[in-house]
């Protein structure tokens, strides 16, 4: 990593001359030395405060905090993922230790909080997680939906006619606690007692409380501990009730070794803390984010099926858990930086969630973002939040009720938002909104309360994340090729995109990918081209025949699975036919960057070659046109023989051409050839010809049965394991899972031959087990 203020007289060392050294012996840079998570920049916007780190020094030692700070997506995920090397045991350790007087107070209450799941090591953690997971599974959460909605309505009824409310104080703090208590099965008369002590643990754990505050917190925590035991004793006297706490009590009866007595009380307290402020803050952040982006709010009011994707986008840009902690159990490395055994890590999810290496337009709020659910706000891996689908359900229902009943609500202007100073839990302490009660839709018609949106439990369904656009132009680009330009219906800017990106065009039963090929930087429109394919499945003909200017279409994306690595020394671009579209965007970019490139464009004849005029105008010097009817065919082996070292090849075109290219590139260094396929080789599952197998998930200690009529991806999703996916046809690489053991039948078009032979990863959406069993690192 290099520091922007790097002096040049240090023999190549990029860091400032400094007396401070990190525990690995490296000097500490000026930015790292100054970093203090309790300073205003991090408190206001942790992701922005760590932009320098993502860019220059993604893993650094903070002398003020005495932690290693990790800020990039891949690194944060890697730390979450490996809970053996990076133990979660310090996740709830007090950042500021308590004075002896506070410890005395707690002693007086016999306080003996033990580790509970989130900060437990293996193998204990997994044994318990597995036993106690049932109630959190999607199929067992559906039954809660009805009463959660009633609860939300009840709270809204209390202020709907007032015209003004503090949503945090009057609702968002209350609902998650009530939901958590009911989920636990705590009888309602006891819930009142617990409520009194469910104090802000935030400052206690992740803040810098004053000695006076420490004493008050100790008193409250002690009371909480005492009350929890009394309630638990009553529940245990008749352990037949319904709820997760009763499940745990019964587990204690049958498996006292795995769920011991001491565990029950700790777990009751821990789960209330885990479920309460996290969800309250996340809801407040989401409302603030959406109401400050009125167009997004309006889109949701018009189309509430967008709510799940909007909530994930809010969890990404304004999550309520912004940083988590781990401790290294051995000497290790993160992002190439050596971390000694015992090193404590602050892994900043808020920063990872805005890392441009993972996200397109990371700083923009886009409720149509197809992969927003890949945010790390719920953590990742073996300890990933067990309550994520409860939180999602609550947040979705709350938002659905508001966009129906108070679509005209606004943030009160000029209010100041206050945040409790701490490293990890983030949300405003109040959120004032106002509206004109006379305009409440339900005063005109009660029907707004009828037919609420039903949300499926789990990550958003990708088919729901569709952006409405209007066709502004349809132009003929060549024989059988049309270009379609689309704009936002309200003439707003459309998202930025990078070369190689595509959109999915959705209409009727059709869903097809098309690469973007317009002028990048022109945010007013998106352009793509469609080749009429009489031999295809019918989508291209349908679009050719029906799309007209003024028509409303739906698109998903932009997405990019064909990234241009801008660091190579030289490039050869090879386009066949309609494959020119992503290649043209790449050529434009390379030209703008001043990188050396050559471009080969092949087609049956000039009349069939789209954008030829533009390609000749803009890339004439780099261009060779291979028009079949002029007898000028592409000599692929000849072109490839002339490649120089470090040159990258990008190609898109007919399958035959890509297969030939792959065959010629078998022995090239990894990462030199980049190709984009547009059609899957086999996407339809034929149960008659498939066999069932089992997938053992090593990290989660779960075994999932995959039926002969199911994909591995479907089976994993049904078991509550979120695996990102996109194309579901083996084209994009989003659903890759690591394989530890077992023979794989690869059916994707993403992995190279060498990668297949290594047999250590597979695409869950289409590839299967050759035998009866696979062991996955999930
Ligand atoms: C763990 C975030 C709501 C129960 C976690 C972790 C995070 C988190 C970051 C640690 C993950 C890791 O180490 O990989 C959140 C956020 C929430 C939320 C942002 C709301 C938006 C809830 C709710 C419940 C819950 C509503 C329960 C009803 C748990 C439990 C764990 C956990 C039991 C421990 C899992 C384990 O270690 O195996 N949560 N949480 N959370 N959360 Fe949540
Ligand atoms: Fe695209 Fe599996 S989801 S390859």
Q: What is the CA(503)–ligand 2 centre distance, in A?
A: 15
Distance CA 350, CA 317 (A): 7
Q: Is the dihedral of CA 479, 481, 482, 485 positive or negative?
A: negative
Closest listed residue to residue 250, CA positions, set 147, 161, 132, 170: 132
Q: What is the pLDDT of residues 462-513, one digit of tens each?
A: 777 889 999 999 999 999 999 999 999 988 889 889 999 999 998 877 888 8
Residue 643 in contact with residue 649, Cβ under 8 Å?
yes
Burial of residue 757 (CB within 10 Å: 0-12, 13-18, 19+) is exposed
What SS3 state is found at 134?
helix
Which among 701, 655, 659 is positioned nearest to 680, based on CA atoms? 655
Q: Is the CB of 380 under 6 A from ligand 1?
A: yes
Mean of the pLDDT values across residues 552-576? 92
Distances (CA, A) of 412 to 163, 174, 320, 396, 430: 11, 21, 22, 23, 11
Give the mean model confidence (pLDDT) for residues 526-531. Answer: 96
> Is residue 399 scored above 70 in pLDDT?
yes
β-pairing verdict for 552-559 and 623-627: unpaired
pLDDT at 756: 82
Determine which of 372-376, 406-410, 463-467 has the lowest per-residue pLDDT on average.
Answer: 463-467
Instruction: Give the residue-averaged pLDDT of 529-537.
Output: 87
Whole-number average pLDDT of the chain: 90
Examine the pLDDT at 199 and tell me if it is beyond 60: no
- State the pLDDT confidence band at 682, using cuts at 50, 70 and 90: low
Ligand 1 pocket mutation, candidates 115, 279, 387, 423, criterion most atoms within 8 A of CB: 387
Is the separation of the CB atoms in 707 and 692 below 8 Å?
yes
| DSSP classification of residue 493 | P
Q: Residues 161-184: what's their mean pLDDT? A: 95
Buried b (16+ CB within 10 A) or exposed e, 699-708: bbebebebee
Taking the CA of residue 763 as reference, the ligand 2 atom at the shortest distance is: 2
Q: Is the pLDDT of residue 746 over 50?
A: yes
Which ligand places an atom closest to the C-alpha of 767?
Answer: 2
- Count of CB atoms situated within 10 Å of the CB of 512: 19
pLDDT at 684: 61
385 close to ligand 1 (CB < 6 Angstrom): yes
Ligand 1 atom at minimum distance from 391 CA: 26
Judged against a pLDDT cut of 50, whether residue 4 lies above it is answered with: no
pLDDT at 13 over 70: no
pLDDT at 21: 87
Q: Which residue has the higher pLDDT, 599 or 655?
A: 599
- CB of 180 shorter than 6 A to ligand 1: yes
Using the atom order of ligand 1, give the atom closest to the CA of residue 376.
9
Indicate the top mutation candidate among 373, 744, 766 to test ligand 2's pocket, ranked by most ligand atoms within 8 A of CB.
766
* pLDDT for res 548: 95
pLDDT at 14 over 80: no
Q: What percent of the chain has pLDDT over 90?
A: 62
Q: Which residue has the tokens 């206690």?
A: 204
For ligand 2, residues with CB inside 6 Å are 725-728, 730-735, 748, 750, 763, 765
Q: Which residues pair with 601 in a beta bridge?
A: 575, 625
User: Using a 6 Å cutoff on CB, does residue 435 contact ligand 1?
Assistant: no
CA 319 to ligand 1: nearest atom: 19
Question: Residue 105 contacts by C-beta under 8 Å, 6 or more apart in sequence?
Answer: 215, 218, 219, 222
The 10 Å Cβ neighbour count of residue 636 is: 17
Q: Is 117 in the pocket of ligand 1 (CB under 6 A)?
A: yes
């Amino acid at each position: 990593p290099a520091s922007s203020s790097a002096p040049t007289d240090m023999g190549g060392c990029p860091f400032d001359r400094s007396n401070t050294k990190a525990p690995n012996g490296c000097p500490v840079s000026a930015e790292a030395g100054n970093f203090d998570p309790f300073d205003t920049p991090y408190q206001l916007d942790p992701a922005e405060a760590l932009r320098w780190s993502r860019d220059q020094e993604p893993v650094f030692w903070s002398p003020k905090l005495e932690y290693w700070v990790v800020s990039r997506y891949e690194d944060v995920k890697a730390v979450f993922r490996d809970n053996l090397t990076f133990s979660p045991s310090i996740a709830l350790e007090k950042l500021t230790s308590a004075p002896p007087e506070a410890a005395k107070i707690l002693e007086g209450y016999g306080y003996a909080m033990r580790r509970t799941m989130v900060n437990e090591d293996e193998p204990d953690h997994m044994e318990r997680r597995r036993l106690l997971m049932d109630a959190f599974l999607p199929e067992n959460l559906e039954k809660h939906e009805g009463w959660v909605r009633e609860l939300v309505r009840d709270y809204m009824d209390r202020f709907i006619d007032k015209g003004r409310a503090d949503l945090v104080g009057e609702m968002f703090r209350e609902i998650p606690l009530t939901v958590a208590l009911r989920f636990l099965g705590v009888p309602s008369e006891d819930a009142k007692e617990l409520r009194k002590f469910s104090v802000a643990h935030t400052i206690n754990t992740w803040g810098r409380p004053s000695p006076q505050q420490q004493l008050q917190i100790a008193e409250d925590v002690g009371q909480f501990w005492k009350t929890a035991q009394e309630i638990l004793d009553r529940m245990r006297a008749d352990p037949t009730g319904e709820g997760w706490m009763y499940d745990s009590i019964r587990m204690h009866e049958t498996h006292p070794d795995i769920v011991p007595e001491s565990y029950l009380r700790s777990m009751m307290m821990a789960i209330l803390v885990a479920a309460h402020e996290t969800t309250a803050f996340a809801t407040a952040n989401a409302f603030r984010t959406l109401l400050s982006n009125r167009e997004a709010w309006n889109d949701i009011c018009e189309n509430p099926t967008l709510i799940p994707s909007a909530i994930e986008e809010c969890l990404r840009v304004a999550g309520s858990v912004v940083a988590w902690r781990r401790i290294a159990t051995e000497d290790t490395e993160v992002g190439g930086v050596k971390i000694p055994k015992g090193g404590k890590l602050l892994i900043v999810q808020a920063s990872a969630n805005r890392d441009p290496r993972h996200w397109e337009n990371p700083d923009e709020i886009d409720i149509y973002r197809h992969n927003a659910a890949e945010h790390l706000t719920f953590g990742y891996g073996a300890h990933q939040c067990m309550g994520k689908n409860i939180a999602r359900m609550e947040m979705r229902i709350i938002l659905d009720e508001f966009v129906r009943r108070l679509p005209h609500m606004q943030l009160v202007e000029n209010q100041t938002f206050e945040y409790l100073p701490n490293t990890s839990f983030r949300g405003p302490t109040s959120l004032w909104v106002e509206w004109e009660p006379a305009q409440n839709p339900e005063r005109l018609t009660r029907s707004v309360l009828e037919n609420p949106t039903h949300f499926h439990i789990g990550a958003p369904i990708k088919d729901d994340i569709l952006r409405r656009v209007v066709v502004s132009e349809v132009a003929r680009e060549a024989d059988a090729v049309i270009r379609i330009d689309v704009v936002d219906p309200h003439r707003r800017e459309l998202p930025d995109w990078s070369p190689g990106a595509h959109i999915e065009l959705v209409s009727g039963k059709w869903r097809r990918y098309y690469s973007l090929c317009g002028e990048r930087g022109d945010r007013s429109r998106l352009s793509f081209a469609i080749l009429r394919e009489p031999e295809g499945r019918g989508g291209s003909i349908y679009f050719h025949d029906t799309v007209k200017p003024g028509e409303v279409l739906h698109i998903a994306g932009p997405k990019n699975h064909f990234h241009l690595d801008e660091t190579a020394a030289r490039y050869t671009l090879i386009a066949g036919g309609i494959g020119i579209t992503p290649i043209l965007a790449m050529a434009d970019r390379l030209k703008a960057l001043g990188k050396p490139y050559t471009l080969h464009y092949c087609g049956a004849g000039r009349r069939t070659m789209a954008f030829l005029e533009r390609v000749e105008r803009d890339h004439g010097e780099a261009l060779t046109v291979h028009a079949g009817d002029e007898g000028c065919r592409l000599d692929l082996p000849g072109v490839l023989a002339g490649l120089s070292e470090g040159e990258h090849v990008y190609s898109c075109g007919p399958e035959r051409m890509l297969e030939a290219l792959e065959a010629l590139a078998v022995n090239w260094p990894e990462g030199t050839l980049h190709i984009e396929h547009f059609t899957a080789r086999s996407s339809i599952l034929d149960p008659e010809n498939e066999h069932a197998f089992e997938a053992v998930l090593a990290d989660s200690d779960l075994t999932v049965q995959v039926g002969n009529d199911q994909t591995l991806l479907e089976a994993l999703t049904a078991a509550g394991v979120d695996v990102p996916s996109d194309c579901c046809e083996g084209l994009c690489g989003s659903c890759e899972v690591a394989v530890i053991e077992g023979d794989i039948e690869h059916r994707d078009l993403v992995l190279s031959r060498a990668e297949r032979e290594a047999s250590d990863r597979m695409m869950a959406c289409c590839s299967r087990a050759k035998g009866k069993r696979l062991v996955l690192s999930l």
